[in-house]
Chains A and B, each alone.
Chain A
């Protein structure tokens, strides 16, 4: 197959690798990037989301689903293969069955044993065919659509719709879903962050306390803004993170932790998605990928260097010391849409390709092992 043509050579010895001397607390640095674009087999450069299943990475693009295995593009699936729609906005792997669920702009697709089965507004109980996100929680599959939240019980086939009619959604338009053992969280466009308690069946909305003002009256008072683009749950800290187009918010059950580009080293307040594990919080912004070490307060932002020659890495310590470094390889684009973890590696969806970020081995990373194997704590 011709897919395998990595755009940027990986020659660790030649890379301008960075010493971590002078940094009080070592955060992992991603200095090696391997990019997948239309130039080397991707069906489209716009990548919405990647989902990791062991050595497999399932990638949703604007023109089909891509399977990457052991770092190589194995197959591209599109509507002629049975996919509901070419635009794959969200991907989720059911760890129990191995089935891959796909949020597309033509309904929900289930990829199981090499075959697609589709659930559409006309053929099932799905609220709307524009599906932005999908998540699997036990026997339930949740879908975020433009007409609200749909839930399918895969055992009984029962569909439920949650919208402004029966749940505290100011708007039915949902962008993101994060699941835990006991809760499901939703990013509601213009409606804030929404929490669903699975056992109790009740909803709890989190909204911007100052309404829709695009300023923050009091720091850490609550959710930064009601336009929530995505949610990410950290199973290690039990913090739910909400990306908004006006900053980053995290809620630990008692306190809010808010970050703006004006009072932190966050690359931009326009954040498309957030993912978190351990002490790591990753904000996918329109000006690069920002990493926050929640424990040390250190920020690291990755973005392509201006002029297209390698990448800029900006390290900002808690005491505001800023260090600029360069890497020979970098993200495919600074407009970052989402991120997925694969052990120590990260897979970054950008507007111009998929980026596989690899960090240099160091004692800490070896000690921590594969974080994907962490057992999530119950919230």
Chain B
């Protein structure tokens, strides 16, 4: 005999179960964000190094160890270690060198350290995801780029309080104080949110350090992944150099076989009162015609200005550039041609030196005789004798001697050697294991069709199937022969490598949720949005129990003329606020646009009857997931 349960009871029960699941998911998110396994793995994972003001020590930031290491330059030994916050990314020094400031990306704080005693003085709150930082010339103010908040905290060091936040653009990364102290330069990793079928535009944000306001936003077309910033000596014209990646994302990826789809280089900004924006901006490629140097990242001038060192973090190379020859090249080739000239590097390059795995940063001694390259995945520094331009040795920072599966997988993820002509690695399009913010024309049966936005790799282990089409049932399929054939155009990974790589990808954690209170309590707006979420049956396709994805495809009316199918894999909603643009092709630049612009047929939920207030609340709830 069957029993009929009233619909209302079922609905109530559904909401209650969902609420429990939301709480569980929120807690799970917190747990995974702790990322305990990585910290306890013993790996140091150095990401940044700066020479002390007196040049005797190297301060090395280790993101998986939550530590700052101090290396004696003379003895090449680690002589100190300071525990800092979670996921430290950069270190800055006071002008005297007496104090150090370490940004803690996942703790949303800065650790202030006494450089002499190596004692932590205090922890200073910053914005969301602090990364690059610098003091001003007086040492009274600290500028901190917040990668998640998309802004820069201006911190008054006397009080340790934040005076203001200045909007940068997307994922601000590195920060440099100009030599004379008038400007603070901020590079942005991701390009502007713009038309999905256009080439990206990135920004160098320039802060007026006297007024502490945004002075200028330099728009850089065609490039993304602006990383470190270096300024040449005055004698060399105060030029700025900034590594970049130049994606040809509008071309079908079948072009990988012909090269030139992703190129890597650096901006050269020459101050000029005659140039619009005050700088003559040149984009110079560092690749060779038949071999690429992916992951342009760390950069520095030698103090005498004669050379520039740039790390190719996915090729395990540091390129040594002759500044005078570079200048001649820039003058010789029309500026509009230069970004696409793969024959440039040969004209100014002095050496390509091999480093350890994943060289992310480089520092040069004041005497211009030594360079120290940070090998992120080797827990080491490569020491380069700049007089002879050869690798002199290696400084072991003390990580485990045996490679774990995860570390092997991570090295594969960060290595471009599996791609035809080493054009790119997995991480090239997934910087920080996340997104590059652009839409790609992948190789599909119909060339030029099915352009898709990049998807994050954070927290995806339980969200199969993969790809927007949902055609890949598991990561083995996603990352195996298909990637080899359609992306890398090479042999790809062998079975053992594939297993390591997938283990690593599955271990990529979700970062902490900045929109969710520490106790998991929803705000009033989020509570209201939660009701809207369930009243509108959003959970049908975005069930809380499975990371807010039904693990299958639906047609929500978002296909356009480029799409061969209207069925798209339901994306997980965890940390959705970190992932614009939205929808399969990145057409929706904001969460609002998903419903205000791209849901005219009410196929992506019946939302046309929603009030603006309800939509705002719904979005606040989604951001809490």
Contact = CB atoms under 8 A, between A and B. Distances in A.
B213 A97 contact: yes
Contacts of B619: 125
Given A113-B215, A155-B149, A97 B592 contact: no
A122 B590 CA distance: 9
B589 interface: yes
Given A122-B592, A156-B515, A97 B214 contact: yes
A161 B528 CA distance: 13
A124 B214 contact: no
Q: Using C-beta atoms within 8 Å of the partner chain, give the interface range for chain B.
A: 35 or more
A112 B616 CA distance: 25
B614 to A, nearest CB: 10
Nearest to B211: A98
- The secondary-structure label for the interface of chain B is mixed
Nearest to A54: B211
B596 interface: yes
B167 A97 contact: yes
B94 to A, nearest CB: 24
A77 interface: no
A155 B127 contact: yes
- The secondary-structure label for the interface of chain A is loop
A114 interface: yes
A39 to B, nearest CB: 29
Contact of A123 (B216, B515, B577, B589): B589
A151 to B, nearest CB: 10
Given A112-B214, A155-B127, A165 B613 contact: yes
Contacts of A156: 514-515
Interface in B567-605: 577, 589-590, 592-593, 596-597
B216 A113 contact: yes
Contacts of B596: 121-123
Contact of B164 (A97, A121, A147, A165): A97
B151 A158 contact: no
A161 B167 contact: no
B205 A161 contact: no
Contacts of A124: 590, 592
B165 interface: yes
Contacts of B167: 97, 99, 110, 112, 154
A158 B525 CA distance: 9
A115 B219 contact: yes
Contacts of B151: 155
Nearest to B611: A165
B217 interface: yes
Q: Using C-beta atoms within 8 Å of the partner chain, give the interface range for chain A.
A: 20 to 34
A113 B217 contact: yes
Contacts of B616: 125, 159-161
B219 A97 contact: no
Contacts of A158: 525, 620
B190 to A, nearest CB: 15
Given A122-B597, A158-B525, A127 B612 contact: yes
Interface in B207-233: 208, 211, 213-217, 219
Nearest to B597: A122
B419 interface: no
B217 A139 contact: no
A96 interface: yes
Contact of A125 (B214, B515, B597, B612): B612
Given A99-B214, A113-B217, A122-B593, A139 B165 contact: yes
Interface in A145-183: 147, 154-161, 163, 165-166
A96 B151 CA distance: 13
Contacts of B620: 158
Contacts of B589: 123
A154 B165 contact: yes
A128 to B, nearest CB: 8
A155 B616 CA distance: 16
Contacts of A96: 163-164, 213
Nearest to B150: A157
Contacts of A147: 612
A123 B217 contact: no
Interface string A129-148: 00000000001000000010
Nearest to B219: A115
B293 to A, nearest CB: 31
B110 interface: no
Interface string A79-123: 000000000000000001111000000000010111100000111
B141 to A, nearest CB: 13
A160 B525 contact: yes
B615 A113 contact: no
B371 interface: no
A96 B216 CA distance: 15
Interface string B175-213: 000000000000000000000000000000110100101
A165 B165 CA distance: 32
B612 A112 contact: no
Contacts of A154: 165, 167
B173 to A, nearest CB: 17
B166 interface: yes
A159 B616 CA distance: 7
Nearest to A159: B616
15 contacts: A96-B163, A96-B164, A97-B165, A97-B214, A98-B208, A112-B217, A113-B215, A113-B216, A114-B277, A123-B589, A123-B596, A124-B592, A125-B616, A155-B127, A157-B577
Lowest 6 A-B CB distances belong to which pairs? A98-B213, A113-B217, A113-B214, A122-B596, A96-B164, A125-B616
